[in-house]
Amino acid sequence: MATSSTKSNASRKSKKDASAPKVQPVPDLPERVWQITAIAIFCLAAVLRLYDLNLVPLHHDEGVNGNFLLSLVRDGRWNYDPRNYHGPTLYYFTAIVPWVIKLLFGTEASETYGLNTIVIRLVTALFGLATIGLVFLLRRRLGTVATLTAALLLAISPGAVYLSRYYIHESLFVFFTLGAVVAAIRFYDQRNPVYLIVAAISAAMLFATKETAMISAGVLIIALVGTYLYPRIFAALFNGRMLRRSDSSASFVDDLGGFGLLGICIGVALIVFVLINVVLYSSFFKNYPQGVYDSLSTFKVWSKTGQTAHVHPLLTYVRWLAYQEAGPLALGIVGAVFVIIRPVNRLALFVGLWAFGLIAAYSLVPYKTPWLALNFIIPLSLVGGYAVQRIFELERGQLRLPVALVVLASLLGLYQTIDLNFFNYDNDSTYYVYVYAHTKRGTKDLVDVIDRIAKEGGQGGKTGITIVSPDYWPLPWYLRHYSRVGYYGRMSPSTEPLIIASTGQRAEIESLFGGLYEEVPSSESGGAFGLRPGVDLLLYRRINRQP
């Protein structure tokens, strides 16, 4: 029974609580707005990534990757080569389509409908689209406004769109990186070991995609440690002012059943990680154990990469981002400042450390290429989204300023995306940083002319072609249906109907073949077909003289 004293204390406590200032709830968007906006962003991302995938001619690297795919699909052979230093996931995921078509409809259908430019780029485009889907899964941790903003920034990012429409490893790489992060967060939040296995699968796929996984993994670990330490350092310096814990890890181990069960879960995850890498790098044990050895020795090869080629100054990535990713970069900086001065949201702190830690790490490496910038765009968009979330909260749910910032960043990003991806996709000026030694649209004109001559000659895919130019990629992909193509890379005798040479070999062609061949001019100035910056090709057709 309560005494008069306890009743008096309860009364005083009730009055004290009533007089205390009420904590204002964090403003949020209605659920209906979240759903409609998320769907609209996803649809916009899909249109930008999937529209006319055949428009842009394949880059040199895309042609090489396509050639590896041809060997895998046609001959069932792909062996990891450490000198190539790129993993197998891209080829195996892409090979699923032609393999299924071949199983159901035969080899000819597989060659026609399974091995073409649209199909191979569809794979990377879908991974790029799926990455945006992963962003939506961070809503609970990052906030509704932050998640929608991050997804929008990523959806219309010039680089994210351009590289999603590119048959190289980057689109898969960032998907598996973010996938590992999202799964790890789910594991922590829900205490479900299944998510730890999913994180292990994602991490394994990451390492089986590109060897730069070592850099990303290192930065993620440092970011995780920083996320744990910085709020504690901040609290110690400022006596805990402005710092409110958003979650607690005290019961994490207990919820999982103790250290013993947690150790078992980690052990299983490590086994899954190793097994996936062994299976993929050994080509499903067809190249075991050599493929596994090569997957480890590649780091020695990779450490020497870029000592001569693709070397750029320290701040190159920052300059490239400023040119083509100004929205995510600017908002990312603002978001980082917010989370540094008030480290309440641990995920925002983590992605901020991830973004700028990765920029710093890659900047220290002399080897720099624009497609590596996609690694920065993901976390920059996330921490940039958090910047808008904080402004929304500081404005007490008023949308005027947050919407103005998002609209400004979106208009700039959307304009640059459309301009780059559908108009200036082969413009190698300094401004278009993602157009890096890219194939000129004249290459597709060259292929069209070859196809026309082959059809007119009645031989079709059996038309003989001699390629003496030392530079010819990605022509092996475009000429994959021609059975008599010789890639000599230097002057060589020929009696084939067609010869492809560089403009620097014109005098040699005329000297060696005299009046046996005639040049087939292009519609471009000078009559040559542009391959890439500084490389132009000439097409010669054998003259059929009547007796």
pLDDT single digits (tens) 262-294 = 999 999 999 999 999 999 999 999 999 999 999
**Tell me, what's the pLDDT at 453?**
97
Residues of the chain with pLDDT > 70, as a percent, come to: 91
Asked if the structure places residue 427 within a domain, the reply is: no
Asked if the structure places residue 365 within a domain, the reply is: yes
Which of 38-43's residues contact partners 24+ apart within 8 Å by CB, and which partners?
38/136, 38/148, 38/151, 41/132, 41/148, 41/151, 41/152, 41/155, 42/129, 42/132, 42/133, 42/136, 42/151, 42/155
C-alpha span between 326 and 380 (Å, rounded) = 11
**Tell me, what's the pLDDT at 544?**
83
Q: Is the pLDDT of residue 9 over 60?
A: no
The stretch 430-440 carries a mean pLDDT of: 95
Q: What is the pLDDT of residues 178-193, one digit of tens each?
A: 999 999 999 999 999 9
Res. 306 pLDDT band, cuts 50 70 90: low
Domain total for the chain? Answer: 2
Query: 393 is written with which tokens?
Result: 């909260």
Of all helices (H) and strands (E), which one includes residue 362?
helix 346-364
Shared domain check, 458 and 489 = yes
Shared domain check, 271 and 221 = yes
Asked if the structure places residue 517 within a domain, the reply is: yes
The stretch 500-504 carries a mean pLDDT of: 97
Per DSSP, 520 falls in state E
Shared domain check, 381 and 481 = no
Mean pLDDT of the chain: 92
Q: What is the pLDDT of residues 136-175, one digit of tens each?
A: 999 999 999 999 999 999 999 999 999 999 999 999 999 9
91: how many CB neighbours lie within 10 A of its CB? 23
Asked if the structure places residue 16 within a domain, the reply is: no
**Tell me, what's the pLDDT at 21?**
44
* CA angle (28 as vertex; 24, 29 as ends), nearest 5: 150
Asked if the structure places residue 10 within a domain, the reply is: no
The stretch 452-476 carries a mean pLDDT of: 97
**Tell me, what's the pLDDT at 547?**
53
Asked if the structure places residue 45 within a domain, the reply is: yes
Q: Is the pLDDT of residue 312 over 60?
A: yes
Which among 422, 451, 475 is the end of a domain?
422
Q: What is the pLDDT of residues 76-89, one digit of tens each?
A: 989 998 887 689 99
Shared domain check, 517 and 412 = no
The stretch 374-389 carries a mean pLDDT of: 98
Q: Which residue has the higher pLDDT, 255 or 98?
A: 98
Q: What is the pLDDT of residues 216-246, one digit of tens each?
A: 999 999 999 999 999 999 988 886 555 555 4
Shared domain check, 250 and 142 = yes
Shared domain check, 287 and 412 = yes
Res. 258 pLDDT band, cuts 50 70 90: confident
Asked if the structure places residue 270 within a domain, the reply is: yes
Shared domain check, 311 and 212 = yes
Shared domain check, 395 and 261 = yes
Shared domain check, 174 and 127 = yes
**Tell me, what's the pLDDT at 300?**
74
**Tell me, what's the pLDDT at 23?**
44
The distance of Cα 132 from the centroid of its chain, to the nearest Å, equals 11
Shared domain check, 529 and 410 = no
Residues of the chain with pLDDT > 90, as a percent, come to: 82
Measure CA of the first residue to CA of the last residue in the chain; give whole Å.
124
Radius of gyration for the chain, computed over Cα atoms and rounded to the nearest angstrom: 28
Answer whether 181's CB lies under 8 Å from 219's CB.
Answer: no
Which pTM does this prediction carry? 0.92
Cα-Cα-Cα-Cα torsion 194, 171, 174, 289, nearest 10 degrees, comes to 70
Domain assignment of residue 335, given as a range: 31-422
Asked if the structure places residue 279 within a domain, the reply is: yes
Shared domain check, 390 and 452 = no
**Tell me, what's the pLDDT at 525?**
76
Q: Is the pLDDT of residue 16 over 50?
A: no
Res. 106 pLDDT band, cuts 50 70 90: very high
Adjacent-strand bridge partners of 502: 537
Q: Is the pLDDT of residue 424 over 90?
A: yes
Shared domain check, 451 and 364 = no
Peptide bond into 474 cis (omega under 30): yes
**Tell me, what's the pLDDT at 399?**
85
The stretch 325-346 carries a mean pLDDT of: 97
C-alpha span between 97 and 519 (Å, rounded) = 39
